[in-house]
Amino acid sequence: MAYLTIEGVSKTYEGKPLLNNVSLDVERGEIISFLGPSGSGKTTLLRIVAGLETPEAGRILLADQDMSHVPVHRRGVVLMFQDYALFPHRTVQQNVAFGLRMLGLPKPEIRARVKVMLALVGLQDFGPRSVVDLSGGERQRVALARSLAPQPRLLLLDEPLGSLDRTLRERLLEELAAILRRVRVTTIAVTHDQAEAFALADRVALLHDARFVQVATPQTIYAHPATPWVARFLGYRNLLPARVTDDGRLETAFGKLDVSPELSLPETGIEGTVLILPWGIRIIDSEPPCNAFAARIVQRVFQGSTTVVRLQVGEVSVSVVMDSHERVPQEGDWVAAWVSPDALRWFAPPIPFR
Amino acid sequence: MRSVTEAEAAGDTVSPSDRSRSRHWATFLLLIAIPTGFLVLFYFYPLGAILRTSVLWQQRPEPLVTLRRLVSPGSLRVMGFTLGQATLSTAITLVTALPGAYVFAHYEFPFKRLAQALTTVPFVLPTVVVATAFGVVLGPESPLVRWLGEGADLRYSLGAILLAHVFYNYTVVLRMVGGFWETLDPQLGEAARTLGASSWRAFWTVTFPLILPVVFAAGLLVFIFCFTSFGVVLILGGPTFATLEVEIYRQTIQFANLPLAAALSLVQITFTLILALVYARLQGRLARPLDFKPRSTVQRRPRKPLDVALVVANLLLMLVLLAYPLVTLVFRSLVSGSHTYALLFENPRQSVFYVAPLAAVWNSVRIALMTMGLALILGLLVSTAVYRRRAGWLVDALFMLPLGTSAVTLGLGYLLAMAQPPFNLRGSVALIVAAHSLVALPFVVRSLLPALKSIRPSLREAAQTLGAAPPAAFREVDLPIVWRALTVGAIFAFTISMGEFGATAMIARADLPTIPVAVYRFLSRPGALNYGQALAMSTILMAVCVVGFVTIEGIRPPGAQDF
Amino acid sequence: MKRGLGCLFLTILFFVGCRSATATPPVASTEEPRELRVMAYSSFDISEAVIAQFEAEHGALVRFLDAGDTGQMISQAILSRDDPQADVIYGIDNTFLSRALHADILLPYKAKALADIPDAFKLDDQYRVSPTDYGDVCINYDVTHFRERELPLPSSLAALADPLYKGLLVVENPASSSPGLAFLLTTIAEFGEDGYLDFWRALRANDVLVVDSWDTAYYGEFSGAAGSAGTRPMVVSYATSPAAEVYFSEEALGEPPTGSITASGTCFRQLEFVGILRNARNRDLAEAFVEFVLSDTFQSDIPLHMWVFPVREAVALPEVFVAYASVAEEPATLSVGVIEQNRERWVNEWTDAVLR
């Protein structure tokens, strides 16, 4: 039996299903990330796990215990809110001590634990400070220390870095990941940012259309998105309608594409969608044996270390990510583009052409 | 400000499932049961009794006659005047006191606490005493009138009514709005200014909408107070003016026309109800969760010349408007020598109705403390029940009704309902405390609700997930954060009880003379000594109140910061 | 905080509550005294010693209920007729008498002591009320003001409309004040139903000031009252007010700073009555109290406490009364029934004529 089981949870919002019979198992010590766009119901699911909301169907089991009738404060499930919800009328150490006080621990022990927690998040000297004066990053760390202090059975993080600026976010992401791995607390982190999810989680659960569309390790998701929607959500733009040809190739608006033998294709004549992973298209100087096409550069977007180049091949366009320090062709140039057979992924249902 | 994110959208608006909905309803009903019982027993039951008696009144005129008189030009004129003067009074009070609220919320300056306590003193003063002060301040002998010319002699005019209403109610706006404003994050306004808004625009577009719920709350209370104004209109306005309250009194007491009085009373109550409903609805839409700051980060000493000028200007206004009449009273109570005070403690003619000052102070203070306790408990129950419920605004509005109900009507209702079995509370302290609490309750709720509504739900939820049961979460999160608002409510409850001379004056009492009662006793007979002692007693009332305010403000839960 | 706060409130409530529970007066005798409840208006006053004497004589405990002004007191008595708040009601006056009689709230009792009281004061032939005291509502004037300007005193009501007295008089609103009503009744008695409004219009033209209550008029507007900031040298007050001014003065005064005009037809006589409320708990004690109110002991204590004259003629008046309190020569009279019947109409007509 898994440590945490989400079992057939459903919830509607204004008549529309927000969560539709959602199930998931989480192992002890695992860090799971709920990834999905705004409004996908991931925060609601998190709140249902915390007991702040009641599902219309389904239940939550924690360590084999049905949580349906366990009130929020007895679950041992701590939720760290997106706005951190630090108590403005308490100091840093009072905030961190809160959960410990609720456990009724003796004062000396609380003091000692608070000290340890503050050290863990690198805020040793902040104890007596007012939380109102803290910077965003400091608040985030106080919130984390407060959430971890009572040693919850389950830690829930709602967009833990969501309200921070970009550079701070990158730095704190590493710190957060390191701390979570060190304390080995079972954690669910909700985020809309794939980089955040990939960096934090052992497994990522992608939520779309009121259900999990893919639950897998970050590597798997990155390399093998389960649906075109997942691919798009990950930022993959090169999705083309395709048809399987007699010779086991894929016919696209690009022309016919050779595929890697590892990619199992359905019968001839089936129509579907092909994804070309971002690294799978390259602009080349010499003609390769297969999958090469003449393309015209229609757009160049400089993004710092990389430059995104938009190629027009026949009637379709695809994006190629190039290192900025390479020689990037000019708009209007004609170039040769090569598609790696290993970078192709096949989705059965055709998607509307964009 | 509020960034609408998924968390909020889901947290606030996802309709709870049937199970959690019924759980919420159960909590709501549990919390509201006691206050509602109180309201039914001490308001609706007596009100029903007096209305019933009035309708069945002996030698009653035909219902049509009553109706015709209700819509006669005379009655309509009274209604029109009542509304008009209340609107004007409220507008002027808001305009006058909002800058003061800003100054008290944003600046730290010497004697601030004392100044704030003094602004609340007018609230407790009997109208006769205030009239005396205004007579001096506005009369022909006044330096002000000599300086400004005869036009400044506002006695017996609409001007006097408006001025007195501002004098009485300034503190309502100052305390309610100021108390809220001072915990509001100044960065919100500053943020708007960095977005290119002028400071004036920043105020109108950012700060003002945020304080609007509290401005509405204070405005509503001031309006209802002015709407049911009695003494001020009678004494200061002179006999040419009459409000509904005055007319109800006359019809009841002078002419024994109870049916007409009841009809007028109902008009007054209906209007209050409509107003309270509209207000409660608006309030529910306006209040937003906010980030609060401790006072220390909001308040600063005025340094720039503009700041100093602002503070000084407002203090000067308070000095002229509030302090000058008060000082006049104290001065006049002393003018005949300090022995008037000494004489208060003697009973030279061995009167049975002699009121020992200490006994009056003790009666007043203990009734006020009991009122404060009861009103705070009931107010907390009502506010916590109401603030999250969609139907809460309906309940909220009901608790406003006693404030807008004629004191004569309610007083006689008490006589009929509460002084006879099954509830024989005749002459008991409990009845007086209940009556005072009924009037004080809207103040406590008005102070608490905006504060409670502005607490982010995530704070309570965080406390819960950290292991706090709902009562503990309330104690640890809500209570410390609304402490300021609670203090404001406590001060009003204390004050209302100290100065009340309306409904309870109608309940015959044996041995419970309060300070206002003592003042009236002295004023009801001629002679310099009586007059001096009445003023001396009023001065004692002011002193007791100031001590009370400062003490109440000083009580602060340990552990809570400067909120 | 936590528990501390709750405890604080509870302590306050408990402490305060306990005190009120134990605040009942101590009982001296071993036998439980019977309680007599007396309802009176706010300005009722009498010596403790006088009441103590009654209590001793009858083994009773007298509790006074402060019932507000006369109108409020009568409204309360009428509304709680079936289960009255008191046994005895003190202070019904002749302007409200008819209402009280009509509402049938009083029990008849023919006191023996009535024999010593002039018949003119006995207004109810069924003896449901007994007269206790009377006082005249008259114009009071500021002695200094009149003396310094060598102004003659007005000799009649009509004279008040003389431009000589323009802006000098302050009166109370009959709709809210009992002396105000008394003065309106005086003018109706003097000028009749047909003429009184003309007189009031003339007064209005002569800049009469109307205020809501006696306190405002006397302490706020009248220049003669000690300590007053007022500017008007004439006010509607009581014929005994000058005596009170002397009695309650800061320093010993040789003569009163105010005087009252008691010329024929310028005053209204207010008579006050005591009665036994229907459904009284201790009827015999109530009857004894009525006798006591009419006795020498009580009657002679009335003047210095309530500043009115006792109805019992034989009573010796205090010195300050003899010297400075006056009695109207020929006060205006109107029957109590006529007053009650027309009160509202008169007040309304007056309001239209004077205030609109």
Interatomic CA distance for residues B376 and C164, integer angstroms = 60
Smallest CA-to-CA distance from C176 within C148, C221, C216, C205 is with: C216
- Average confidence score pLDDT of chain B: 80
| pLDDT score of B142 | 72
A62, A80, A87: which to substitute to probe chain B, counting the most B Cβ within 10 Å? A87
CA distance C265 to chain B (A): 24
* Residue A107 within any structural domain of the chain: yes
| pLDDT score of B507 | 64
Domain co-membership, A214 together with A273: no
How many CA atoms, within 13 angstroms, populate the side-chain half-sphere of residue B308?
Answer: 3
* Residue A352 within any structural domain of the chain: no
With 90 as the cut, is the pLDDT of residue C153 above it?
yes
Identify the residue whose tokens are 């009861």. Answer: B374
CA distance C183 to chain B (A): 16
| Burial (CB count within 10 angstroms: exposed 0-12, middle 13-18, buried 19+), residue B198 | exposed
A:248-307 residues touching chain B, CB 8 A cutoff: none
With 60 as the cut, is the pLDDT of residue A328 above it?
yes
ipTM of predicted assembly, 2 dp: 0.80
Interatomic CA distance for residues B413 and B43, integer angstroms = 9
| pLDDT score of B233 | 84
Domain co-membership, A13 together with A66: yes
| pLDDT score of B1 | 34
With 50 as the cut, is the pLDDT of residue C198 above it?
yes
Domain co-membership, A66 together with A214: yes
* Residue A23 within any structural domain of the chain: yes
Q: What is the mean pLDDT of residues A86-97?
A: 87
* A46, closest residue in chain B (CA to CA): B7
| pLDDT score of C62 | 92
| pLDDT score of B504 | 59
Number of independent structural domains in chain A: 2
Domain co-membership, A162 together with A220: yes
Structural tokens at position A7: 């079992």
Smallest CA-to-CA distance from A42 within A167, A177, A148, A162 is with: A162
CA distance C346 to chain B (A): 11
Q: Provide the CATH number for the domain around residue A265.
A: 2.40.50.100
| pLDDT score of B121 | 85
Lowest mean per-residue pLDDT among A302-306, B243-247, C102-106: A302-306
| pLDDT score of B286 | 67
CA distance B339 to chain C (A): 10
Q: Which domain holds residue A140?
A: 4-231
Q: Where are the alpha helices (DSSP H) in C216-295?
A: 241-247, 283-293
From A231, A250, A282, the end of a domain falls on: A231
**Residue ranges per domain, chain C?**
32-134+271-317, 136-269+324-354
Q: Which chains touch C (3 or more CB pairs under 8 A)?
A: B
Cβ proximity of A81 and A158 under 8 Å: yes
Q: What is the mean pLDDT of residues C337-349?
A: 90
The percent of residues in chain A predicted with pLDDT above 70, rounded, is 97
B296 compared with A291, residue with greater pLDDT: A291
A163 compared with C257, residue with greater pLDDT: C257
Residue B115: its H or E element: helix B112-120
Residue B7: its H or E element: helix B6-13
Task: Point out the residue among A18, A130, A146 whose CB comes nearest to the CB of B561.
Answer: A130
How would you write B382-447 as a 3-class SS string? HHHHHCCCCCHHHHHHHCCHHHHCCHHHHHHHHHHHCCCCCCCCCCCHHHHHHHHHHHHHHHHHHH
Domain co-membership, A95 together with A165: yes
Contact B370 C16 (CB under 8 A): yes
| Burial (CB count within 10 angstroms: exposed 0-12, middle 13-18, buried 19+), residue B151 | exposed
* Residue A128 within any structural domain of the chain: yes
* Residue A62 within any structural domain of the chain: yes
How many B×C Cβ pairs under 8 Å?
A: 218
Contact B531 C51 (CB under 8 A): no
CB contact, 8 Å: A81 with chain B? Answer: yes
Domain spanning C32-134+271-317, CATH architecture: 3-Layer(aba) Sandwich (3.40)
Domain co-membership, A68 together with A214: yes
Domain co-membership, A31 together with A179: yes
Lowest mean per-residue pLDDT among B232-236, B312-316, B445-449, B528-532: B528-532
| Burial (CB count within 10 angstroms: exposed 0-12, middle 13-18, buried 19+), residue C175 | buried
CB contact, 8 Å: A158 with chain B? Answer: yes
Domain co-membership, A90 together with A209: yes
C:32-51 residues touching chain B, CB 8 A cutoff: 37, 39, 42-49, 51
Q: What is the mean pLDDT of residues C96-112?
A: 92
Q: Residue C23: which pLDDT band, with cuts at 50, 70 and 90?
A: very low
* Residue A253 within any structural domain of the chain: yes
Task: Point out the residue among B6, B11, B480 whose CB comes nearest to the CB of A38.
Answer: B6
With 60 as the cut, is the pLDDT of residue C355 above it?
yes
Say whether the peptide bond before residue A288 is cis (omega within 30 degrees of 0): no
| Span B115-157, pLDDT tens digits | 888 888 888 787 777 877 787 777 666 777 777 776 667 777 8
Domain spanning C136-269+324-354, CATH architecture: 3-Layer(aba) Sandwich (3.40)
Domain co-membership, A335 together with A312: yes
* Residue A354 within any structural domain of the chain: no
Q: What is the mean pLDDT of residues B59-81?
A: 82
Q: What is the mean pLDDT of residues B157-166?
A: 89
Smallest CA-to-CA distance from B557 within A91, A90, C1 is with: C1
pTM of this prediction? 0.79
Domain co-membership, A50 together with A99: yes
Chain B neighbors of C344, CB-CB under 8 A: 254-255, 257
- Edge-first strand listing for the sheet containing A334-339: A281-284, A334-339, A292-302, A306-313, A316-323
Interatomic CA distance for residues A347 and A328, integer angstroms = 31
| Span A104-117, pLDDT tens digits | 889 999 999 999 98
Interatomic CA distance for residues B111 and B66, integer angstroms = 55
| pLDDT score of B173 | 92
With 80 as the cut, is the pLDDT of residue B224 above it?
yes
**In chain B, what are the domains?**
24-56+80-554 (1.10.3720.10)
Smallest CA-to-CA distance from B437 within B399, B486, B475 is with: B399
Task: Point out the residue among A11, A83, A102 whose CB comes nearest to the CB of B468.
Answer: A102
Helix (H, G, I), strand (E, B) or coil at C36: strand
CB contact, 8 Å: A159 with chain B? Answer: yes
Examine domains C32-134+271-317 and C136-269+324-354 and report if their fold is the same: yes
Contact C65 B510 (CB under 8 A): yes
| Span C286-333, pLDDT tens digits | 999 999 999 999 999 999 988 999 999 889 999 989 888 888 888 988
With 60 as the cut, is the pLDDT of residue B41 above it?
yes
C:243-262 residues touching chain B, CB 8 A cutoff: 244-245, 247-250
Cβ proximity of B458 and A83 under 8 Å: yes
| pLDDT score of B190 | 65
From A176, A205, A231, the end of a domain falls on: A231
Domain co-membership, A261 together with A218: no
Structural tokens at position A249: 């190739």
C9, C10, C20: which to substitute to probe chain B, counting the most B Cβ within 10 Å? C20
Domain co-membership, A308 together with A171: no
- Strand-pairing partners, residue C61, are C35
Lowest mean per-residue pLDDT among A57-71, B221-235, B282-296, C259-273: B282-296
Q: Provide the CATH number for the domain around residue A94.
A: 3.40.50.300
Task: Point out the residue among B132, B255, B557 whose CB comes nearest to the CB of C220.
Answer: B132
